[in-house]
């Protein structure tokens, strides 16, 4: 349940008109607007760049960033904090720091230092939400809370809270250390987080054929609720997910658990043991994944995926390109390109970026570009300019590019 008091804000403060100029200046781009008008294509010096049909800032991110800007206007004199990155984009987070919005420090062990927050301070909760424990702590501190949690995330929370009320275990398809999944799991009584299909298969095998419960507990020690007992807590389950996972995988995992519970308990008893997941992959994630699946069917020499390195939905767009055996680079902004014809990028599964050169091989090229839901147009435009400048003596602008 969400708090309901005058210090808890779930909407902006009616200051949209006052912040619009700042948002346009910092995040929008004439170049991208113009490429969109040209069927998402731009050609220059033998390079054709095709933008996916859906990319970049989603509705939920747009809303969260606007609310943060409005919060600064609404409380000009107050100390403002944010419990985490508002979204996974370095530019946006740097801009918030410049607006003197403080990020709550996190220790190497992952613990947040809430002692810096005092009564009367304002605290912004990011688009992927906050855990129940954090929200209780902030309420106890008598802070002004601005909750930018995306409604798509809240939808999943409602589902998990329903599982809790009916004593079903929440099986969450997500990354156990992702902020959204931490917040979602905090709303469950019992939970198990599976990161991918192969982990789900392992669990289903255990459900059907049994196994060593100590091994189970060790394998999922970071991904289960306190006191989780596989024999007991895998008898009744419902599926939930991090909203930005790969949609096809979430569906496969849901079906696999349903089939497993059907085999174990039979069709007449299934309702006592399994609750179907419903549709909880958010629209924006789905649209971007669908657009990417369409784009990779076209003949492309190269794919660039832009977004924060800790952005889950961006990572999944990258995976789609790699699965289609395309040369694909995940970068987090224009600075990853250059100097010269090289790119600093993060391979799938790697914790750090590596350098690859050349970025652009010889000859005419068609490059597909997409961006995760937390990437502003201005960052995408910067990347396009950097790519085109590799083959150009002149700076790229809308006016000197053939569209």
243 forms part of the interface with ligand SF4 (CB under 6 A): yes
113: CB partners within 8 A, 6+ apart: 104, 105, 106, 107
For residues 149-208, which are near ligand SF4 according to CB under 6 A?
A: 150, 152-153
Establish if 246 lies at the interface with ligand SF4 (CB under 6 A): no
- Span of 41-49, 57-65, 67-75, 376-384 interacting with ligand SF4 by CB under 6 A: 57-65
At its nearest, how many Å lie between ligand SF4 and the CB of residue 174?
Answer: 12
Binding to ligand SF4 by residue 344, rule CB under 6 A?
no
Min. distance of Cβ 357 from ligand SF4 in angstroms? 32
Q: Which range touches ligand SF4 (CB under 6 A), out of 138-146, 148-156, 168-176, 199-207?
A: 148-156
The Cα–Cα gap between 65 and 84 comes to: 13
How many residues bind ligand SF4, per CB under 6 A?
A: 15
CB of 313 to ligand SF4, least distance (A): 6
Phi first, then psi: give them for residue 345, nearest 5 degrees: -150, 165
For residue 374, the minimal CB distance to ligand SF4 (Å) is 7
Look up 199 and say whether it is catalytic. no
Q: Which two tokens stand for residue 45?
A: 């010096």
CB atoms within 10 A of CB 305: 30
Q: Give the end-to-end CA distance of the chain in Å, rounded to a whole number.
A: 51
Q: 152 or 274: whose CB is closer to ligand SF4?
A: 152
User: Which segment (25-33, 59-67, 248-256, 376-384) binds ligand SF4 by CB under 6 A?
Assistant: 59-67
Helix then strand then coil, in percent of the chain rounded to 5, is 45, 15, 40
59 in contact with ligand SF4 (CB under 6 A)? yes
337 lies in the site for ligand SF4, by CB under 6 A: no
Residue 215 vs residues 124, 218, 237: alpha-carbon distances, Å? 40, 5, 21
Near ligand SF4 in 8-27, by CB under 6 A = none
HSE of 47, CA atoms in CB hemisphere, 13 A: 24
Q: Is 282 in the site for ligand SF4 (CB under 6 A)?
A: yes
Alpha-carbon distance of 178 to 183, in angstroms, equals 9
User: Between 8 and 59, whose beta carbon lies closer to ligand SF4?
Assistant: 59
Q: What is the DSSP letter of 56?
A: S
Nearest-5° angle of CA 12, CA 14, CA 19? 85
Give the active site residues. 180
Residue numbers at the binding site for ligand SF4 (CB under 6 A) = 58-61, 127, 150, 152-153, 243-244, 282, 284-285, 313, 373
């Amino acid at each position: 349940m969400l708090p309901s008091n005058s210090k808890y804000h779930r909407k902006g403060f009616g200051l949209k008109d006052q912040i619009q100029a700042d948002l346009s200046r910092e995040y929008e781009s004439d170049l991208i607007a113009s490429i969109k008008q040209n069927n998402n294509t731009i050609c220059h010096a033998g390079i054709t760049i095709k933008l996916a049909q859906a990319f970049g800032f989603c509705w939920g991110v747009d809303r969260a960033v606007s609310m943060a800007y409005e919060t600064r206007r609404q409380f000009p004199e107050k100390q403002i904090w944010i419990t985490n990155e508002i979204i996974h984009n370095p530019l946006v987070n740097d801009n918030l720091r410049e607006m003197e919005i403080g990020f709550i420090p996190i220790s190497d062990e992952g613990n947040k230092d809430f002692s810096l927050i005092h009564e009367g301070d304002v605290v912004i909760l990011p688009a992927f939400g906050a855990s129940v424990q954090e929200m209780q702590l902030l309420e106890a501190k008598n802070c002004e809370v601005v909750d930018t949690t995306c409604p798509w995330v809240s939808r999943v929370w409602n589902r998990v809270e329903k599982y809790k009320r009916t004593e079903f275990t929440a099986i969450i398809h997500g990354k156990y250390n992702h902020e959204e999944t931490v917040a979602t799991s905090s709303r469950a009584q019992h939970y198990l987080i599976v990161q991918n299909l192969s982990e789900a298969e392992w669990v289903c095998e255990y459900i059907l054929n049994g196994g060593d419960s100590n091994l189970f507990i060790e394998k999922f020690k970071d991904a289960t609720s306190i006191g989780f007992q596989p024999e007991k807590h895998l008898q009744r389950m419902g599926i939930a997910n991090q909203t930005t996972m790969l949609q096809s995988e979430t569906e496969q995992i849901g079906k696999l658990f349903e089939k497993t519970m059907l085999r174990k308990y039979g069709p007449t008893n299934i309702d006592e043991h399994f609750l179907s997941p419903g549709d909880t992959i958010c629209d924006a994630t789905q649209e971007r994944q669908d657009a990417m699946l369409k784009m990779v069917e076209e003949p492309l020499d190269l794919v660039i995926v832009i977004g924060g390195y800790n952005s889950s939905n961006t990572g999944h767009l990258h995976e789609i390109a790699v699965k289609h055996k395309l040369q694909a680079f995940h970068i987090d902004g224009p600075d990853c390109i250059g100097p010269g014809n090289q790119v600093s990028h993060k391979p799938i599964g790697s914790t750090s970026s590596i350098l690859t050169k050349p970025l652009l091989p010889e000859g005419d090229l068609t490059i597909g570009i997409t961006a995760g839901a937390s990437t502003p147009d201005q960052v995408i435009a910067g990347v396009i300019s950097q790519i085109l400048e590799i083959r150009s003596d002149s700076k790229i602008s809308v006016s000197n590019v053939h569209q």
